[in-house]
Amino acid sequence: MVVALILLLVAIGSVLFHLLSPWWWTPIASNWGYIDDTISLTFWITGAVFVAVVAFMAYCVFRFHHKEGRKAAYEPENKRLEWWLTVGTAVGVAAMLAPGLVVWHQFVTVPADASQIEVMGQQWRWSYRLPGKDGKLGTSDVRNVSSDNPLGLNPGDAAGQDDVVIESGDLHLPIGKPIKVLLRSVDVLHNFYVPEFRAKMDMVPGAVTYFWFTPTRTGSFDVLCAELCGIAHAQMRSKVIVQEEGEYQAWLEQQQTFAELSGQRRTLKATYQVSGE
């Protein structure tokens, strides 16, 4: 009886802790709603299964505990029970997977008015590229990646000359505007992860992955790598800083474009060559 009561208290306590917990999520980006609804649905389904299993264990402990003279019944199989368990499990798994497909569709269906930014992952740092005054990102090619061109932009593409390049810095975004995030990796698998945004996507060398979101709250949010990428994986950190439009534009004006950075590097290289001579 004591063991059965303990099991029931564990089940009831777990449910009450979830319902009365002060650590509820705060919406910070547009994809919070549909992602968190899916998480909540998963909690309810798995929670119901957890309570049912623990309650069944408590019943078995109480109903079939040892008594003098009672013999265990041998029942090698029960096809009716097996069918119920199979059907119930299949329904539960489908109920958790189906919303995930809907959420994934929303996660990668980008609004027509979304602006593009690019995130580059490299052992062990983050770099970013934002469109310049033309509002378009220039093309890039991994074969162009070098110490002078770490993001691999095509020097001959006029659309990329005014692209804003941020190497090993923080990403700033305006509040309330949809953003399509293009993800690339130079070397190994990385994963761009901003926990507060519910934003997470693998970065695969040789491919471009993407998702979109709209920041709905100003603040500073950590960028993590969620894919083990080497010895300094834990130090691959950055920040996304969401600002009001005026503050964001003021920050943007202070950043350097690809053309400006290329010119500076050419000047430095020429200076070093002259000094060496």
Q: What is the CATH number of domain 115-273?
A: 2.60.40.420
Pairing of strands 115-122, 179-185: parallel
pLDDT of residue 132: 84
Which residues sit opposite 239 in a β-bridge?
222
Residues of the chain whose pLDDT is less than 50?
270, 272
Buried b (16+ CB within 10 A) or exposed e, 69-88: eeeeeeeeeeeeeeeeeeee
**pLDDT at position 104:** 83
Phi, psi of 180 (to 5 degrees): -95, 120
Q: Domain spans of the chain?
A: 2-64+79-108, 115-273
Residue with tokens 């020097």: 155
CA distance 247 to 212: 22
Quote the CA–CA distance of 103 and 119 in Å, as a whole number. 22
**How confident is the model over 92-147, as pLDDT tens digits?**
888 878 888 888 888 888 888 888 999 998 888 899 999 888 888 888 888 888 77
| Confidence at residue 229, expressed as pLDDT on a 0 to 100 scale | 87
Q: Of 212, 227, 205, whose CA–CA distance to 104 is shortest?
A: 212
How does pLDDT run across 13-25, given as a tens digit for each residue?
Answer: 888 887 777 766 6
Per-residue pLDDT at 3:
81
Contact by Cβ (8 Å): 222, 236: no
| Nearest-angstrom CA–CA distance, 155 and 145 | 11
